[in-house]
Amino acid sequence: MRSDIEFDAEGVTLRGWLYAPDERNGPVPAIVMAHGYSAVKEMYLDRFAEHFVSRGLAAVVFDNRNFGASGGEPRQEIDPWAQVRDYRHAITWAERRHEIDAQRIGVWGSDYSGGHALVVGAVDRRVTCVVSQVPLVSGRDNFRALVSSAFLADVRTQFDDDRRARFAGKDPTMVPVVDADPSAPAALPTPDSYEWFMTTHEERAPSWRNQVTMRSVEMLTEYEPGGYVPRISPTPLLMIVARGDHLTPAEFAIAAFARANEPKRLEILPGSHYDAYTDDFDLAADAAADWFVQHLRT
């Protein structure tokens, strides 16, 4: 069912897994998948892929460049636009596989990559179906929701200092992804982020590292995938939102969904952001699989 894969993304080797149904009559529809902010594929993407395969779909799962098993430098740097391009490289790779029907390829993303799925679905017409789970839709609004206004000037100074240091040839400034102290500097400064990342790192993903470059945070503040939402149509869009999400606040995602054109569907999970991978997994995975089957297997 699962095999290790690697493919070239303009000089960077991306690595991951290909899932395909054991029994199939010819090429099958496929879902291209990558993870969110700093996360690696072992952080429940295998579980989602297995669920999709059980419904007769293939899944192409890969680690984002600079993370996990994939290549790329500087390590631990998140460039959202490079990650968007890598989704498109993965689609091109998938088109060439004999197991996959090149005319029926969907994209799935969650958290940061939930935003990527919106962008890719809007700009790449090879995509025939989109699922965006607990997405970031506005880096600026999200950042301001997480960081007290009293600290915004200090953070901007840190961005500028890091830029000057890198220009002078110094190593990138690194910051923790999460911290036990929610008031401490971190890219994702919420208690549930700390609990989920540290627990999932220990139980499932030893390759995950609790750091990103300072520039990764700066680029997050500049990233506005929600602006692409009206352009996704006529490609079908499913947005999965968590009612109690305060990391990528539910109200931001729902407002972005309202700007989407048909065909579209909104699924609201009862829990919080990270429950989409755990307590609410069945709800999230079933909704996504149903949407993909409806629009890719017909």
Predicted local confidence at residue 213, as pLDDT: 98
- CA gap 257, 237 in Å, rounded: 9
Residue 284: alpha-carbon gap to chain centroid: 15
Answer yes or no: are the C-beta atoms of 39 and 188 closer than 8 Å.
Answer: no
pLDDT at 250 over 80: yes
Of the candidates 188, 256, 253, the residue with the CA atom closest to the CA atom of residue 217: 188
pLDDT at 179 over 90: yes
Mean pLDDT of the chain, nearest integer: 96
Predicted local confidence at residue 298, as pLDDT: 65
Predicted local confidence at residue 265, as pLDDT: 98
Predicted local confidence at residue 114, as pLDDT: 98
H/E element holding 18? strand 12-19
Sign (positive or negative) of CA dihedral 134, 230, 142, 201 = positive
pLDDT band at 153 (very low <50, low <70, confident <90, very high): confident
Query: CB-based contacts of 150: which residues, under 8 Å, 6+ apart?
Result: none
Q: What is the mean pLDDT of residues 4-33?
A: 96
- CA gap 30, 189 in Å, rounded: 35
Predicted local confidence at residue 148, as pLDDT: 77
DSSP-derived pairing of the beta strands 174-175 and 212-213: antiparallel
Answer yes or no: are the C-beta atoms of 173 and 214 closer than 8 Å.
Answer: yes
> Model confidence over 23-75: pLDDT tens digits?
888 999 999 999 999 999 999 999 999 999 999 999 999 999 999 999 999 99
Predicted local confidence at residue 7, as pLDDT: 98
For 217, the token pair is: 């945070």
Predicted local confidence at residue 183, as pLDDT: 82
> Model confidence over 190-231: pLDDT tens digits?
999 999 999 999 999 999 999 999 999 999 999 999 999 999
Answer yes or no: are the C-beta atoms of 251 and 19 closer than 8 Å.
Answer: no
pLDDT at 83 over 90: yes
